[in-house]
Structures are given as structure tokens and as C-alpha cells.
Structure 1
Amino acid sequence: MASTVTTEPSKDSSASARPGYGQLLRTRGAWTFLLPGFAARQPFAMLTLSIVLLVQHTTGSYGAAGAAAAVTGVSMALFAPWSGRLADRYGQRAVLVPGVLVHTVSGLALTTLALAHAPLWAVFAAAVPTGASVPQVGPMVRARWGVRLKGSPLMTTAAAFESVTDELTFVFGPLLATALCTAVHPAAGLLTEAALTLLGGLLFAAQRSTQPRVAAAGHARVEHSSALRVPGVRVLIVTFLGIGSVFGGMQVSLAAFTESIGEPGLNGVLYGTFAAGNMLSGLVCGAVAWKAAPQRRLVVAYAALALVASGLWAAHSVLVLAGLGLLVGMCIAPALITGYTLVEGLVPAGARTEAFTWLTGAVALGQAAAVTIAGQLEDRLWGGSGFLVPMGGTVLALVTLLALRPRLATRPRERTVARGVGHRVPVTVD
């Protein structure tokens, strides 16, 4: 183990002073999981919006559509950490293959029931396994980066790169889902999502050489202790719940807004603008050699997010909403990147996939609650009232983050695994 730690940083020594994307993408074996990983995570950006558009078409209610999407999101949030923990224990392939098969079948069942105008409870019943079986490709890719970049300052760059990749999918995903659902057929988005999940998931699972090694049986009890026991992870979960409220609140509210002005096709454009802001700021974050402590960066980024999100409800034109959406996206990326980066210093390697899935699940849970509440607000109150949800979610999460910020500090006992947090050396003044 020690020999591996010393050789990897020396190999990336050129990047130590100035980490960058070029150096990151030259990491040995990276492209073998990056390309199939991108294909496998693309459907995640399509799922919720495809369900909203399909169910709203068949029921005529944004409240019902939001509730169906919420059931999917809650199911994913509840099952994602268990999926991550199983992947840490038994290997990613063992979890991915059955997962993508179940997801494909469940998505097809949900589509059939919705088109058949089945009772809403039946649609909800199909939404449970659809959400529970969403492949956690993003956390799995992040875990693979952790294996490749032990002790390297490129870990912050990798976290930024993954955030940019996630947001790139949220640029194309909503556009594709909206185009398919409005120009082809209301069910086309969900059917395409199921097909891409099956193909991309199986291709990613086939890349065995880059997946993290499964701990030996003798180390299982130590390596696989739950990441949820770490206080800092619980703080980050609350923080990511607030970020999820932004995603969910904007999905429903933007769809309702564009429908109200008679331009439903603009929904994907506006949401894509929001995601583009996230992607662009993520690129900048990964290219900067930060000197400020990650805890401080998280607080500053989150305060900016809460401030900008608080103005969404007052926007009443496409241009103003696009501009605010762009700013909101630009504030989300630094918070996401810093949160994922903090995980490496808080959680032992054997529980990192689980920790990443807790955060991903928190975003999904926040998104699920947000689409439900925003849908009800749009149905019962004035147009644009759903934008109150991102404001409320981020403000509450910011208060929690400020109160519990000390729990995000890396514990002294983790100095023995400092190789996993090489980019924080200037902060810990060793």
C-alpha cells in the first residue's frame, strides 16, 4: 500500500503545483471508465423530467406529475446508499448489472401504466422500483478516481470534472427529454431513458480493471462501517438536500412557466441554461488552485446560492428567468464540488462509494420533496409560486451548515490516510 502511495504522486508531480484537466485526463486508465460512465449517467438527467411530462400529459395535473416524480426520487434516495454500500462490499459490477435490468423493466412498466390511464397508485407502485434501481454511476466514477489518484492534488480537479460532467448531462438531458416528449410522443423521453440506462450501465459494468478492489474478508468490518456515522457526512447530506430543492423546484416551476406562456419547448432551454451555468462555474473551480479551506469555500458558495435562489419567484419574463437560472447554476457547482471533495477527508476509502451515494441520494430526496411541494403550489397558488421552494430549501440548509460547520473538519486521527486528501495539505498546516 505504501509503495502505491509514493509512486502515484511522483507520477503526477508535474501537476502538484498546477493541477489541470489535461493532466487529469492523462491519468492511466481514466478513459476506460469515463466514456461508458458518461453514457450511463445521461439517463439520470432525463428521468424526473420525463416522468413529469408524461404524467402531466396523461392526468392534466402538475401535482400528480410532481408526486409521481417524487416517489421515484424518494425511492432512489432511500436505496442509493445501500447500493453504494453493496458496491463497496461486493464490487460495482455485482450491483450494476441487476440494477440496470430492474430499472429498464420498471421504467417500461411505469410508461405502460401511465399511457393506459391506470390509477395513480399503480403509477406510484411502478415508480418505486424505477427510482430504487437507478444506477449510481456518478458515485462509482468518483470512487474510481479515488483509486487512480491516491495522494494526488488532482483530486480537487477530478471532483470538479465530475461535477462538470454531471451538469453536461443536465444540459443535454432536459433538452433531449423535452424534445422527445413534445415533438415525438409524451412517452418517448422515458422510453429513451430506459434504453440508455440499459446500454450505458452494462458498458460501464464491463470495465472491471478500474473498479475499486473489494476489501478482503478480514478487513470487512473495519472498511465497511457506514459512512453515515461520520458527523461531517450528515452535515453534507443536509446541505445537498437544499441543492436538491433547487433542482426539483426549478424543474416543475420552469415547466409550469413555459406552459403558461404557450411555449412548452422553452422548458428544456431554460433548464439547460441553468445547467450550463453550473457546468461553466464547475470548469473554473477545477482549474483554480484554491488556498481557502474547503469548509469556508462551501459556506461562501452556499450563501451565494441561497441569495440568488431567493429571487427566482419574482421573475416574470423569459430573459430574467434565464439570467437568474444561469446565476443559480453558477452558485451550485462550487457547493457540489467542495462537498464531494470534503468526503475524501472525512470518510475512509472502504466507505467512500456509500458516502457519495448518500450525497447523491440527498440531492434526489431534496428534489423529490421539491417537485411535490412545487407542483402543489403551482396547482393551488399563483403561477411561479413553485420558485419559493428553492428559496426555502437553500435558506434552511444554509442555517444548518453555519450551525454545524465545525463537524466538517478532518479529524486528527485521519492523518494516517492523508494520502487521500493531498490537496488539503496547505489547510492542515502539517
Structure 2
Amino acid sequence: MKYENGLTSILINNKNTLTATAIVFVRVGSVDEKPFQSGLSHFLEHLMFKGSKNYRGDLMGRNVENMGGYINAATAKEFTMYYINIQKDGLGESIKMLADAMQNPLFPQDEIDRERKVVIEEIQRHSDNPAAVIYEKFYETVYEASALKNSIIGTPQVVANVSREEIYGYYKTHYIPAKMIVVVSGNFDETAVEKLIGETFGKFEEQSASPDPMLFEKVHDGKDIIEYGKVETGYMLTGFLGPAINEEDIYTADTAVNILGSGKSSRLYKALYEKKHLVYSTDSYFMTEKGTGNICIISVFDSKNLKKIKDEIKKQIEYIIDGGIAEEELNRATLSIKTNWNFSLETPFGTADNIGYWHLMDNPKFVTEHMKKIESMTVSDIINFFKKYYSPATVSNIALLPSAATV
């Protein structure tokens, strides 16, 4: 449902459960940040449940706990989400709390100062995580022009020095009805919930949204980057640009990446791990973004195998392009995707998260078309996908090796 102030609500009723979920998606994330705001979306997420007009201090968290529920939030590149999982009788109060948090946050100075330390510690842990480090570098490399290169976690300098006024100004700019989607899933009275959303979120003041950031990337040459750090083994992300989230090729991307490197039956696992023993682990992903997505392969390995791994990844993709896909590989990938998709819709939260996400990404038809497209995929579709998006010249390899490594 679309409200006059620009808010969107989605209600998904399921009388076969005793629980419910309320999620608020806000269309703001690291892509909306200027360099001097790096990490501000994430920092703001930490502060939104730290007291509001009608729920001072930690009252909101205690209320949810007393109702047997769970409250949390997360920040991504294009959005921030806030949610409460609750037994069905607590849904009304949960919606009221989320609405008050979104409309009337207090941002107490003592909480800001306390959370600075928490977030800076989180940033430090992030920088000590090898996989996180190469993901950051990979996005900076693959996305040269797009705001998708911006880091979600941000910098300690911004978090340490941003003022309450700057935080509040960022909140006022982005936490507006036109950028919010409220999703309720589970067992509830639709008429009552729709009325409650109208009386809470529907009363938010209408504001014009700022222009969307640029999220599309033109194909460009890849880079080979090797960095050294305090790691005991090698880590590498290999990848290249893929389709945007509103393109038909996203369906093919899921299947193509599954065949290439997802699970023990995949091409890369068999070649890199089972046959040639070049890696300790390997996995592949299609990273969906609202703009240009990417295909990436993560490998953990002994540093001496770096070049052989790059060569083998290239070889396996070229094998696929040359027509080397068996029908049983396609069938396995289809079943794997179907199973994971169905499991993701098993709970009220999973359903709300999936449907809300695809609405937020302006591609709501994905939810109903996903499995139809996957099940109609052909071997030729996979081959043509790699022909279209893969080129050795556009592949980037970001490696993090032990300081004493010689390659």
C-alpha cells in the first residue's frame, strides 16, 4: 500500500504460524555517503534504538525481551533495516516502537559517545578480518565510478569526530517516508495492522527525497593487487562486473555462479580442492546490487599456489564458455537454488526480508518469477552469460598474503 506521504507498506499474512515480523527498510546506506561521512549510515543504525520520544533509554529493548521477541538492525550499501521478531500478540506494540524510533529518535549525547567506542572497536575487528579486508579492496577496485565502492563499516576518524548535529542532519535527510518500506509478515489481523501503520508511519511528515546516487559501472580493465598482512595463509577475491538487479540476466547469474563455484559439486571445488589441492576452501557468489552487480570467487590457499589458482579459475570459466556443461550440472544447480530459496521463505522474517528487499530494489517481480526463470534455464543460457560478462582483461584479483610470502 502506498500512503500519501510516500511511505510503502507490504502485508504478508500467514495464519499457520504463531509469530510475526515487522521490518522497516530505509533506503539509505554507504552509497549515500560523501567521503567525510564514511560509515555514518552504520553509526546511525547503532543509535536508532538508543531512546525515542515514547521509549526512553533501553525501554524498547526491554519491552521486546519481555514479550519474548528479538530486536535488531543491519546496514548495507543501499539500505538500512530495523526489525522485531515477536509472538503474534506483540506485533502491535512492535510496530509502535519501530515507528517511534524512526520518527522520534533522541540521539542522547552520552549514547553517541558510548557507541563511538563500540563502532570503532567493530571497525578494528573488521580490519583484522582477512576476508573483510579483501572484500573492501575488491569493491574499491571493481567499482571505479559507482558509489558502490563506498565502505559500509566506514572509518574510525569519521565515527570519532562526527557531531550530534551532523548525525541528526543525516537522519533528517534520509529517514523520510518516501525512502521507507514497512513490511509485516506472519499471523495478524490485516485490517488492524493496516490501520496501525496508517496511524503511526502514515503520519510521518512528507519530504522530498534527495537524488539517488550513481550505482552503475561501465566495464573497465581489471587489476591484479597483492597486499601483505598479518595472516597465516593466502586469501584472494577474483571477480568481474555482472548484471544490474533490474536486468533479466540476474536469474542466469545465480545458476551460472552455482555451477562455477558453489558447493562441493561445483567446477572450482572439484578442480581447485579435490583434484589439484590448490586451495583450502573456495566459493563463488553473485553479489546483487541495485546498480551493477558482480561475480566473485573467494579462495583460501597456500601463497605458493597463487598463480596456479588464477590460471585454473580462468581455465574453468573458459571450459564453460566452450560448451562444457552437462545437464546434470544444470539440474543440480537448479535444485540447490530452489532449496535455498524455499528455506529462505520458511519464517515470517525470511519472507518479509526477501519480499521487502526486492521491493526496495525496485524489482518486486523477482519474488514471483525467480523459480520460474531458474527452472527454465538452459545450458546455452549459462554459456551465453559467461560469454557476455567474462573477459580475462576485466577480471580483478585481490590477494592478501602473509608478510613473508614470496610469489
TM-score when normalising by structure 2: 0.29
Greater helix content: 1
* Structure with bigger gyration radius: 2
TM-score when normalising by structure 1: 0.28
Greater strand content: 2
